[in-house]
Amino acid sequence: MIEIGIIGGTGYTAGELIRLITYHPKANIKTILSKSSFGELVHTTHKDLFGEIGNIRFSSELEEKVDVIFLCLGHGNSKKELKKIPNDIKVIDLSQDFRIISEFNKRNFIYGLPELQKELIKKSKSIANPGCFATAILLSILPLARNQLIQKSIHISAITGSTGSGRTYSDTNHFSWRNNNVSTYKIFNHQHIHEIVKVISELQNKFSEKIYFVPYRGNFSRGIITTMYTYTNLSLEENKEMYQEYYLDHPFVYISDFNIDIKQVVNTNKCFLYLIKERNQLIVVSVLDNLLKGASGQAVQNMNLMFNINEDCGLNLKSIRF
């Protein structure tokens, strides 16, 4: 059994991580740390876990030996905890702390997008889990970048559910504000652009085009849909063939011949892609669950790779359609 420690156990991503590992056939949770909720029953915070995990309580310290630690902390806080973790323990960080600057405290973090660098993840002891928007967008772009085919600017619009804002209260994730409402934010300046540019530049060395990204807050709880378009001189069939070939050995990415929607992927670790061509523009629509393939599900996928077990172990989940 892979023995698990979770630091920062009260957020949405931590809740989904606990749920996934509870039913993972080869992993076991040893400790869930939360300094703010120390001593409380975990299911009093994550009410969907009542009746699922018994009477596990939040700890204040990592008291037991574990094989891997998931850091589910707010951005900027992982570095503080990492200083306390022995270098022989594997770490998967779900914040943005190590996605760009990968070296810290004798650790070299690998960007944990399995569809990008699965073999490197298998050999790594430290993983920087990608951002949810970055995952959805990069999966719609990787085949183009790998084949040196991004020739002009990339335009992206994307809408995310309210769980992407976390549990901390703010005006823009309050029900009364979010319900029956849609708004843009961080236009052209969203923090995930940096990791997207970093990945594309590493794949396509001469990439110097602009990325224009417009994110939206949606009036639903979970899921992301992105629409990316950029110039192509290939036919739609040639693009589809390229995408199918690229994702052939990746169990969670599917190319659809029909239009897609968020409900198809909520509660799964899947990402669906739908390709269209209009004039000389390739349009790629992607959908995923921001809390699973965009966060905790992808973290478990990375754990599976790091411990050399089946990539989809514990992640065979069906969508909640209704």
The catalytic site residues sit at 132
Q: Tell me the C-alpha distance between 153 and 3, whole Å.
A: 45
Question: What torsion do the CA atoms of 297, 299, 300, 305 make, to the nearest 10 degrees?
Answer: 130
Neighbour count for residue 84 (Cβ, 10 Å): 11
Q: Tell me the C-alpha distance between 16 and 38, whole Å.
A: 19
The SS3 call for residue 4 is strand
Tokens of 81: 């905890």
AA identity, residue 114: P
Q: Tell me the C-alpha distance between 271 and 252, whole Å.
A: 6
The residue among 302, 268, 265 whose CA lies nearest residue 285 is 265
Q: Tell me the C-alpha distance between 88 and 85, whole Å.
A: 8
Neighbour count for residue 302 (Cβ, 10 Å): 27
- Residue partners of 169: CB distance under 8 A and separation at least 6: none
